[in-house]
Structure 1
């Protein structure tokens, strides 16, 4: 049996199946990326809920795995060279799981970097901008009398949706004809924008029919449906 006792995080979240990938997460747009990818690839894993209400993400155990105190994070007992690998940042996790499974990332170098650039587009643009819009529309920022900050993020979110709309006018999925990690990274944020943030009308989502159509195809995938609720 694999021994993960060298990793302090397993003291707070004991591994019932230490031979499986350990996922530490929550069903947020970033968190579900890892869960969806694990469901899509079929890699064996065990999910642990990092409860923000209890500040689990600030605990010494979690910080020992991710000093940036953000979810998701994983611990793979069978990492490169057969040694355990701890990894954080959702984009890095998607790349790692794609390489480990041999799925959702092309082998051809040109196509591979084509997918990676769209993954970075989500990491650097879609996630931060949609997240700020959510703060100013749904959370504490909604009470700010000055609406200029909110409107800034609305405008930038619309611009990003326009980029996606243009790309989906040319291809079935964001990075080309094949579904991949760029879609797994991006569509949870679009889903959150329209669902949890309830900002569809605010960003004029009707102006982006290809985005919403692709979102529906994404949400229809059984692995996505499962991953969106993990950890329960």
Structure 2
């Protein structure tokens, strides 16, 4: 059994999607980031950076519990644990990892800043908004180019796609029209239709 410490953000959804896709049993523990649950002492023991998601695998290595924070590290761990969506072949694995790191280092952080300055900031700062909207558009262009001629970023569906997809859900917050990125639009619809993804998106916290 895996304990999932979760809130319905793009980073949280990465892990609920992975758990559903991999057919792993899990128990969901809501961490309400709107009420600062992420700063509670018990949660900080699992996620010292006070961010969701985090997991505790009660049947980890040597059948001992293991706790993991950071969504990319969790995805890699689950991929290794199950042997699913994270190939063993080194060339294929590198292809998945570079797009996973692209999401972790760029697509997530830049879109997150876009969300903040475009939607949540108490005052609009034109320079900041323009900067992050511009970078968001550049990154969507990179993704659109990568998807030409293939259904998924690394060829086969993988943990990299599970990481990228949830950030596209909020494209309307990002001043992004998916009609401008036809490969991304098709990719988004393709993943959104997967039964495991639908189950994960139905979680209402």
Instruction: Using structure 2 for the length normalisation, give the TM-score.
Output: 0.96
State the 1:170 CA deviation: 3.0
Deviations 1:26-66 (A, max 9, x none): 11000011100000000111111001233110000000111
In structure 2, C-alpha distance between the alignment counterparts of 1:70 and 1:168, rounded to whole Å = 30
Residue number in structure 2 paired with 1:205:
178
Match in the other structure for 1:218: 191
- Answer whether contact 2:99 2:160 (CA < 8 A) is retained: yes
Is 1:193 matched with 2:171? yes
Secondary structure in structure 2 of the residue aligned to 1:169: coil
The answer to whether residue 166 in structure 2 is matched with residue 184 in structure 1 is no
The 8 Å contact of residues 4 and 54 in structure 2, kept in 1 or not, is answered as yes
Question: 2:66 matched to 1:85?
Answer: yes
Q: 2:102 aligns with which of 106, 112, 121?
A: 121
Q: Report the Cα offset of residue 193 of structure 1.
A: 2.3
Q: How does 1:88-107 map to 2 (within 5 A)?
A: 88-107=69-88
Correspondence for 2:14: 33
What is the CA-CA distance between 1:149 and the residue it aligns to?
A: 1.0
Computing the radius of gyration over CA atoms, which structure comes out larger, 1 or 2? 1
Q: Which runs of 5+ in 2 are unaligned?
A: none
Query: Distance in 2 between the 1:53 and 1:173 partners?
Result: 33
Query: Structure 1 CA distance, aligned partners of 2:68 and 2:110?
Result: 24
Q: How many residues matched?
A: 205
**1:53 maps onto 2:26 in alignment:** no
Deviation at 1:204, TM superposition (A): 4.2
What 5-or-longer segments of structure 1 have no aligned partner?
1-19
1:159 and 2:138 matched: yes
Tell me what 1:134 maps to. Answer: 115
Are the equivalent residues in 2 in contact too, given 1:106–1:112 (CA < 8 A)?
yes
The equivalent residue for 1:17 is none
C-alpha separation between the residues in 1 aligned to 2:176 and 2:204?
29
Moved over 4 A (4+): none
